[in-house]
Structure 1
Amino acid sequence: MHRTSSYGKPSEESYVAKLHPWAEKLNTRRLAGITLAQVLLGGTCSPISFEDFEFFLAFREHSLANLQFVVWYQDYRKRFSELHDRQSLKRRDESISSITSCSSLASNISHSKHDIPSGPYVPIPSNDPDNPLPIPPPISLPPVLSSSSPAINDRALREECMNVISTFLAPDAPKALKLDAGLRDDVVRRLATNCDPDVFKPAYEAVYFYLDRVSLPRFLAYATPNINLPKQIFFYILGILYIVAAIIITITLILFVPVPPQSNRAWRLLASVPLALGTYTVCAAWRGFCAQLWHRQSVQLHSWELQAANAKSLAYVNSVRGRGLGDMRRCVGLVCNSADGTYGRGSPPVCIFQSEEPPIESKPRGGGDTPITFGVTRPPVFGPEKVVKDARILAVHRQVMQSCGMVGLWALLIFSAVILPIPGRQE
């Protein structure tokens, strides 16, 4: 199967929130029931839709060929089966028609009296060796339908299979699948005799297994955070500042607030509030979560999602924002910040311009000859965003918020229990 570039390691220049393996496991445990079949059949919505998975493979893992081969094989198998059924039905109708005509001929011979020549009836003895019974003419019976179908050697299908070999299976193919050499050679050898979908089945199973067991879990792990790397770093810094502020407030109150009276110890609880906020913020950064985005039911875009530009989006930007925005030809994405996915007056679209960083891919757009260069665009700290439509992702975000809230609450209780007994300044 087609793996990522640079010896199987994806490019780190993606600005994706960095999650610890434990955080990834906690985030994705609610998504364990999502399979590749559901994604391919459209059973998931943004941000884990089929289009999102396609962008992930194209710009993150650089293994879009795997998905293209799987989709082609499923479509090819369906078309092959339909062609086989049509040809079988046609042959069956021809067979029924042939049998009917033969039966009609036999009936006419046995029942018609006008065709018998006139003259005396002379019986032919069946045991006379000199006058044997006449041999009846051979009857054309319909051929027996075998398991093999003419579709196996259909010319159009064979040409399509040859194109698949030159695209996916040849060692120097532009979208060569990283298959075992023996498996690849066996598929090509078997295609010399027929183009049955079962010939491709071993290669399909290997690619499908890699997509389902390797690429899909990575994709779900990247889809669970609702923030990008810049905002994650910002949350880490903010949480640490909250915790440092809580420690400074605690030390100040212990040193300068006299005890007794013992009631003055209650002032130390003021430091528990920033400590709880800091712990919550650090936990949210660790799991790649922002409560404000969750309330808006949105997530920040990944860097590879900023590359989707088309003529319609460019025309829309020109019509809404007018001139004076710089070179619109460098726009590589149109993003909506509104929660309902519409472009209202209060939420104008955001045009993402191409970065000056080195490009990662170049390909024609819409089948044309003009290459489009995709660069790695650094997303801003607080945007842009897209709407979350999948209920399972919203449930994951809700669970993350509740978990981080419990961590902050436990931190508040433990910190309060620690600082209250500490002796204070004596009067």
Structure 2
Amino acid sequence: MGLLPLNYRPPAYVEKSGPIASQGSLHDDRASSKSLRTGLSASSGGIPAALSFDRIIEGTTCPPCTLRDFMNYLIYVEHSAENLQFFLWYRDYVRRFANAKTPDISLAPEWTQAMEDEAVMRIKKEQAEKARRPPQGAAEIFKGTDFEKGADTTRESVTVTVTSNILTTNTSSNRSQASQAFASAGLKAPFTIQPFRRELDRVIATYIMDGAPRQLNLTDQEQKTVLHALSFTTHPSVLRSIANGVEATLRQQAHPNFIRWSIRNGNPPRITFAAGLGAAVVLFGVVAALVLTLSSAGRGYRALAAIAWVVGFTIWMAAYKGMCVVLHGRHHRHIRPWDLFASDSDDDGNGHDDGNGHDDGHHDDDSIRAAKSAFDSFGSGNSYEDEPWVVGYRKRNILRKIFDREVWIEEPALRQIQDTIFVQSVLLAVVCAGVLTGVFVAVPAGRFF
């Protein structure tokens, strides 16, 4: 495939920037949207078209840049997998709603922008009136409610709420939680005869309401606005603002960070080791040049230190950009920790190595179950602290981490990026070595020995 331009720079790290729905306006800009779809924008430059967001979502990329790799990154590194899970569900929901031919579709009219603007104004007005309202005493606040009847009722209510929050996969529980969410927003529960109403109840219980297992990062106003819309209809347009915000966040923040992270071909201990090795080789070259300069050896011998400087600076500069040149020489990368124990379970004591680097299959099953759970639109939360690899990898000694299992990098575009970074490192190393060589060759000989 050749190399990218020598002035290529990997995508810059993009910080998270607040609630997702506020990102929707960014996605509406046509020029910005077009550049983001190609993967080449001012905010996420350095991403080839072959690794664009759309290519990853469509499943046309190879490891380690597949949709599964993207999901794992969001779960284990960025801790925001709910955005991709919601995005994939919503895209499928729009398709299924458009293809539905049942008569009850007419019961779910479109939620227009004018209706949303009206709901926002109503919510802002209610919030303003609530802020102007004088503070009430505790007795007045709870008067006429179940809290006035005693602590036992309060404890019972809390128990029911906690129980219903746990049973998110049960239809009646989803309906109950959705009703609670509508009530908290001052809304009446909608009619259940609308199409896909049960599914949207699950969406509320999984992504929208407070305490949901995959709660999206919404402000109070954004949450109430979408609940207003959901109390009116089940048309996909009710989630338009949230979906646009989620997609903008994925395109502008998560995707560039994922590509930046994927360029790293070694785990942190290996990259640290490589950087230290590069610095040591450079230091060795400096010491050798000093010895030759202080001796009576000819000036030409001092230039031999350039060999160490070129090698050392290449290793160090590549490590600075997250690459180990030894792994790159074979176009290999380290297996990710969460995938490592699917084939290597020596450290956790539950699997049995067969002598060829594979266990008895128990962790393959765990890995498959974890992958399926991640792509389940209405699964549990994205916590991974109880997964077997966490403890096993923590117990792994530092030498095993440095020399962990390797695998071939299948994605050609990623190899092209890494080849370019390697060439850049070599060229910069040659320049640095040339400068140091010129300095040491120009210094008069010490002739101390």
Task: Compute the TM-score of the two structures, normalised by the length of structure 1.
Answer: 0.63
Report the CA distance shift for 1:241/1:426 in structure 2 as closer, same or farther (over 3 A): closer
Could you tell me which residue of structure 2 aligns to residue 419 of structure 1?
440
Who is 2:225 aligned against? 186
Q: Is the 8 A contact 2:82 2:216 kept in 1?
A: yes
Quote the offset at 1:63 in angstroms.
1.4
**2:65 matched to which residue of 1?**
48
CA distance in 1, matches of 2:406, 2:200: 42
The correspondence of residues 46-85 of structure 1 with structure 2, limited to 5 A, is 46-83=63-100
Please show how residues 112-191 of structure 1 align to structure 2 within 5 Å: 149-150=106-107, 155=194, 157-191=196-230
CA gap 1:395/1:274 in 2 versus in 1, 3 angstroms = same
Return closer, same or farther for 1:167/1:289 CA change in 2, 3 Å cut-off: same
CA gap 1:281/1:224 in 2 versus in 1, 3 angstroms: same
Task: Determine if contact 1:364/1:372 at 8 Å carries over to the other structure.
Answer: no
Q: Which residue of 1 aligns with 2:321?
A: 287
Matches within 5 A, 1:378-393: 378=394, 380-393=401-414
CA deviation after TM superposition for structure 1 residue 221, in Å: 1.2
Quote the residue 1:251 is aligned against.
290
User: What do residues 352-393 of structure 1 show as CA deviations (whole Å, max 9, x unaligned)?
Assistant: 9x9xxxxxxx98987999x74551625710222222121110
Alpha-carbon distance in structure 2 between the residues aligned to 1:181 and 1:203: 13
Q: What is the letter of the counterpart of residue 410 of structure 1?
A: V
Please give the alpha-carbon distance, in whole angstroms, between the structure 1 residues aligned to 2:267 and 2:423.
20
Q: Which has the higher strand share?
A: 1
Deviation at 1:38, TM superposition (A): 2.3
- In 1: Cα distance, 2:53 partner to 2:329 partner: 29
Q: Which runs of structure 2 are paired with 1:324-339 in the superposition (5 Å)? A: 328-329=349-350
Offset of 1:228 from its aligned partner? 1.5
Amino acid at match of 2:86: F
- Give the Cα separation in 2 of the matches to 1:273 and 1:241: 13
Q: Structure 1 residues 405 and 29 mapped into 2: Cα distance closer, same or farther (>3 Å)? A: farther
Do the aligned partners of 2:266 and 2:333 also contact (CA within 8 Å) in 1? yes
Greater fraction of residues in helix = 2
The verdict on how the C-alpha distance between 1:243 and 1:209 changes in structure 2, with shifts beyond 3 A counting, is same
Opposite residue 170 of structure 1, the aligned amino acid is M
Distance in 2 between residues matched to 1:296 and 1:416, nearest whole Å: 30
Pair 29,296 (structure 1): closer, same or farther in 2 beyond 3 Å: farther
Q: 1:257 to 1:373 in 2, by over 3 A?
A: same
Helix, strand or coil at the partner of 2:333: strand
Distance, in Å, in 1 between the alignment partners of 2:347 and 2:46 is: 44
Tell me: CA distance 1:29–1:193, structure 2 relative to 1, closer, same or farther (3 Å).
closer
User: Superposition RMSD on alpha carbons, in Å?
Assistant: 3.8
* Alpha-carbon distance in structure 2 between the residues aligned to 1:166 and 1:373: 28
Please show how residues 12-411 of structure 1 align to structure 2 within 5 Å.
Answer: 29-31=45-47, 33=49, 34-83=51-100, 86-87=101-102, 149-150=106-107, 155=194, 157-257=196-296, 264-306=298-340, 309=342, 328-329=349-350, 348-349=356-357, 372-375=387-390, 377-378=393-394, 380-411=401-432
Write the distance in 1 (CA, Å) between the matches of 2:210 and 2:92.
24
C-alpha deviation, 1:164, in angstroms: 0.7
Question: Residues 228 and 381 of structure 1 are in contact (CA less than 8 Å); yes or no, is this contact kept in structure 2?
Answer: yes
Counterpart position of 2:23: none
Contact 1:184 1:203 in 2 (8 A): no
- Residues 1:399 and 1:154: Cα distance change in structure 2 (over 3 Å): farther
Match of 1:104 in 2: none
Task: Return the alpha-carbon distance in structure 1 between the equivalents of residues 235 and 372 of structure 2.
Answer: 33
Gaps of 5+ in 2: 1-14, 17-40, 110-191, 363-368, 381-385, 395-399
Q: CA separation in 1, counterparts of 2:47 and 2:80? A: 22
Partner Cα separation in structure 2 for residue 364 and residue 280 of structure 1? 37
* Separation in structure 2 between the aligned mates of residue 154 and residue 35 of structure 1, nearest angstrom: 41
Asked whether the equivalents of residues 46 and 388 of structure 1 are also in contact (C-alpha less than 8 Å), the reply is yes
Change in Cα spacing, 1:35 to 1:149, as seen in structure 2 (3 Å) is: farther
Report the CA distance between 1:36 and its aligned residue: 2.7
Aligned-residue offset at 1:171: 1.0
Gap runs ≥5 in structure 1: 5-24, 92-147, 259-263, 318-324, 335-342, 355-361
Q: Deviations over 1:324-347 (max 9, x none)?
A: x6765268xx9xxxxxxxx9x9xx
Identity among equivalent positions (%) equals 23
Contact (CA 8 Å) 1:47, 1:223: kept in 2 or not? yes
Letter in 2 for 1:303: P
CA distance in 2, matches of 1:295, 1:424: 39
For residue 284 of structure 1, what is the amino acid of its counterpart?
Answer: A
d(CA) in 2 for partners of 1:288, 1:54: 21
| Alpha-carbon contact 1:243-1:274 (below 8 Å) kept | yes
**Is the CA contact 1:31–1:392 (under 8 Å) kept in the aligned structure 2?**
no
User: 1:386 aligns to what SS in structure 2?
Assistant: strand
Q: Which residue of 1 aligns with 2:121?
A: none
Cα shift at 1:35: 3.6
Distance (Å, rounded) in 2 between the aligned partners of 1:76 and 1:365: 19
Do 2:315 and 2:325's aligned partners in 1 also have CA atoms closer than 8 Å? no
1:31 aligns to what SS in structure 2? coil
SS at the partner of 1:166?
A: helix
Provide closer, same or farther for how the CA distance between residues 233 and 326 of structure 1 changes in structure 2, counting only shifts above 3 A.
closer
TM-score norm. by structure 2 comes to: 0.60
